[in-house]
Structure 1
Amino acid sequence: MNTILAIIIALATSVNSLGVRSLIVNGKGGGHVAIGFHLAETLSLDQGHQVTILQNDDVDFTQTPFNAYANLPSNVQIVMKSFDSTFSYPFKDLEFDFVFDNNSKDPTGPVESALLKSNPCKQRYTFVGSAGIYEKPDSLPHNSPLNESMPINTKKPAAQFEAALSSTSIPHILFRCQYIYGPLCSKNYLDYFTYRIKNMLPLPIPSPGTQIASLTDVRDVAYQLSCVCTSLPPTGSIFNTGTFNDLKHSYVDIAEMIGDGLNKTPDVKLIDPEIKTDFPFRAKEFFVKSDKSVKEFDNFGGGEKKLKNYIPEIISSFDARDPTVDTSKDSVAISA
């Protein structure tokens, strides 16, 4: 262990001795990294936890959300480690009350296997996984959500990690996320809509356009996860993440909301869902039911953030980034 890392861990041990200790394991990219940032804020500010983020060091600190780490509260410590074959669990002399694994997938990977062997928490190990492991039954009617009892694809790494974690004695909770938007998110799903509507271009949407999307503000996801600490669900509990109060948005609804924000009418073109485009969501309906957490978490009321209210910020972010959006597949899809 190098000297700098030893000092950071010693500091974390000293600070964390003052209260509830939580560890957030954060990866280097994808939609989940923003969850880790907002969760650290929520746990430290709202619940008074002493939080340690174990961060993959293979990141660009000029990019979001890593460029905002300096703004985290003083009771959040950052420990940088390489998540490669040289990884070893750095907190062997420090036990956490709660662990939020926002990185692990394949249970045989160096970080994943080390976490499973270390049994690093006293109360709950929360795995932040993916709703992408669900296998939607062909018999499921249109506009019907996937619930936690649905079958899953056991070949996917996230499902394999769930199984590996469930086979241990670690008290654990499983979360399955879908599409996330909001501050510091690195994935901008809604650029697809915003670019085309802003530039008055045709907007290809897979037919029938009434498919529902599970779009959730990242701050609501972070708060939902934090409720594990106060509600202490039974070990093995499974929850879909999502904003129960703001679930019923179809693909066409999303286009119309962004159009309203831009003061433009979307030129929606319904296309064959079998044709591959750059559409950011699944062509065939695939959305989750998220009310289980409302019933079982004492403090989670279903989320407070609404997509409609965030549209101005989505447009402002789009304008500031001025992204290049590829529309080369649009004409073929529309004319098919």
Structure 2
Amino acid sequence: MTAFAPSGFLGSSLLHQHARLPRTSPIRHTRSPVMSANVLIVNTKGAGHGFIGLHLARKLLQEGNTVDLLQVGGDPSFGPFAKYPSLASEFASFSFSFGSVADAKHEGYDAVYDNNAKSADDAAPAIAAGKNGAEVFYVASAGAYSYDPNTAPHLVGDPLKGATVDVENLFRDQGVSSVNFRPIYIIGEDCSKRGYLDYFFDRIVRDRPLLLPGNGSELTSLTDVRDIASMLAAALGKGMKNETLNLVNSRAVTFDGVVKMCEDAIGKKANVVRYDPDEIKKKLEGFVPKKAFPFRPRHFFADPGEATEKLGWTAEFSGSADKLAAAIKASYEDYLSLGLDKKDVKFSLDDDILKHV
């Protein structure tokens, strides 16, 4: 791959806000009819991925499948988890329970979606089901890609690190064929980690300085959870073996682009203050960049081209500038309905950074 040049993506004001990734031409596949596949979802309580289970279950149910969902930990009254009873009322073919991985049954399933495992013990139900012939789908993380400042986007096959890679390898070592999905930042309805966008909303609404690391041209990835669910569901019944797909939409957005979309959603301009995280580290003792900003303060996005090619998948809800802007607008409406614009928010770290800018 040649060296990454941001200017190649930022040739217009629209692309400055929401840059197009390289992609292959889609090859459309006709899904073989699956008569009510019996599916198990093992869902994490973890913030960034916690609401995938709800949306994936809904998508699979809408397609006529039977779904059992095991919620591993988490408060039943929390956000997406509190929606399980209403989903069960809507679909008789849906059941859910709260418990530990040890409670998971693994027999009688056509497919298992593991949106939880970080260790061998966590992965045990999916491994057992896979050995019984079930398709195994594992939600890993694009955070597993090793960062190279000279190239982007992340592609399947790039160097890797981290716990989710160990789980991907574990499936293979146990003789279980898995399809591994690597998401980045996920937004959308019933969000289990609102901080990705609330960081911007909190400051713009309250007329606070909006601190941005870098120069604003850093590219990141925001994907609506409904697009996440649709890619995961599209793999069911395909008979894919030992595949890895980047679970992201086909567009990247700059930090400045996120600011602009949040401004448009709120109807108010932001007071942007830029800073260099490396310089702040020198001046502010104990400064940790990831505690000061919701995204990695660098380019971080991936190419979903293999999913587009192999699944005939496109991002319906966040795959264009207009659609992503609409998703951010919807998130702001949720922000207001939850009363978060009135919530007391601490800005002490912001204030410490501002003293050194």
Asked if these proteins are the same fold (TM beyond 0.5), I'd say: yes
Counterparts of 1:54-65 in structure 2 under 5 Å? Answer: 54-56=70-72, 58-65=73-80
Match of 1:22 in 2: 39
Partner of 2:148: 137
Q: 2: distance between equivalents of 1:313 and 1:59?
A: 25
Matched ranges for 1:91-240 at <5 A: 91=106, 94-107=107-120, 109=121, 111-119=122-130, 122-140=133-151, 144-153=152-161, 156-188=162-194, 189-233=196-240, 235-240=241-246
TM-score (norm 2): 0.79
Distance 1:317 1:95, change over 3 A: same
Identify the structure with bigger relative contact order (alpha carbons < 8 Å, sequence gap 6+).
Answer: 2
Q: Measure how far apart 1:272 and its partner are.
A: 0.4
Do the aligned partners of residues 311 and 139 (structure 1) sit closer, same or farther apart at CA in structure 2, a change above 3 Å counting?
A: closer
For the residue of structure 1 that corresponds to 2:179, the secondary structure is strand
Count of residue pairs the alignment pairs up: 301
Unaligned runs of 5+ in 2: 1-34, 281-288
Q: Deviations over 1:247-288 (max 9, x none)?
A: 231111111111112221111111103243521000122211
1:324–1:151 distance in 2 versus 1, CA, 3 Å: farther
- Could you say which residue in structure 2 is the equivalent of 1:5? none
**Sequence identity (%):** 29
Task: Give the alignment's TM-score, normalised by structure 1.
Answer: 0.84
Letter of the 1:42 counterpart: K
2:57 is the counterpart of 1:40: yes
Tell me the distance in 1 between the aligned counterparts of 2:184 and 2:53. 15
Q: Deviations over 1:312-332 (max 9, x none)?
A: 322222222424433212233
> Residues 102, 54 of structure 1: CA spacing in aligned structure 2 closer, same or farther, 3 A cutoff?
same
Report the equivalent of 1:265: 269
Are residues 114 and 185 of structure 1, via their aligned partners in 2, closer, same or farther at CA, if it must alter by over 3 Å? same
Q: Is the 8 A contact 2:217 2:254 kept in 1?
A: yes
Distance 1:325 1:288, change over 3 A: farther
CA distance in 2, matches of 1:267, 1:173: 44
Between the aligned partners of 1:121 and 1:228, the Cα distance in structure 2 is 19
Superposed displacement of residue 145, structure 1: 1.1
Structure 2 Cα separation of the partners of residues 203 and 269 of structure 1: 6
Could you tell me whether the CA contact under 8 Å between 1:136 and 1:150 is conserved in 2?
no
CA contact (8 A) 2:248 2:304 kept: yes
Contact kept in structure 2, 1:123 and 1:171, CA below 8 Å: no
CA distances 1:23-57 after superposition (whole Å, capped 9, x unpaired): 11112232222111111111111x2111111222x
Residue number in structure 2 paired with 1:287: 301
CA 1:287/1:265 → structure 2, altered by over 3 Å: closer, same or farther?
same
Distance 1:216 1:329, change over 3 A: same
CA distance in 2, matches of 1:307, 1:326: 28
- Within 2, Cα distance between the matches of 1:120 and 1:74? 28
Preserved CA contact (<8 Å) 2:54 2:84: yes
